[in-house]
Amino acid sequence: YSADNMIDGDYSTAWADGVSGTGVGETITIHFDEKKLVNGIDIVNGYTKDWETYYKNGKVSSVKLYFGNDRFFDYDLSYIDEGDDVSESGDIAEKCLSKITCNEPISTDQITITITGAVAGTKYDDTCISEISVY
């Protein structure tokens, strides 16, 4: 459940926080070789290998994004609970995608994502993210 799984382009793999509890307070830092303009971040929330795996594992409910230069943003991420009224056919990753769009492009050489809220799965309390992409 390595961090590399969040950037491998494979929605059937995931990063898991690896700590006791739901992972609130854990951070993920994305480093760039040089400053770049960031317009947004896409997060495929949860372990989207299949619906059974998704429900059994934890999901992020909220994050704080830090772009440097005292630029913080708080976001609530969407996730699906087992009892929610959703079709379990089609692309699970698409249904679990949170698109975070910046109001204006931000120049930065790193982004730190702090988990500020999470929900445990039906079997495990580890928190998972299948993919993160920055654009």
Q: How far apart are CA 66 and CA 81, in angstroms?
A: 28
Q: In which element (H, E) is residue 94 found?
A: helix 92-95
Q: 52: which residues sit within 8 A by CB, 6+ positions away? A: none
Task: Supply the pLDDT for residue 83.
Answer: 72
**In contact, 124 and 58? CB cutoff 8 Å:** yes
What is the predicted pLDDT for the residue at 44?
A: 97
CA neighbor of 30 nearest in space, from 57, 54, 77, 63: 63
The pLDDT of residue 132 is 98
In this prediction, residue 87 carries a pLDDT of 73
Give the per-residue pLDDT at 69.
81
Position 82 scores a pLDDT of 78
pTM: 0.91
Q: Using CA atoms, how far apart are residues 123 and 12, in angstroms rounded to an integer?
A: 18
Q: What is the structure's pLDDT at 89?
A: 67
Given a cut of 50, the residues of the chain with pLDDT beneath it are: none
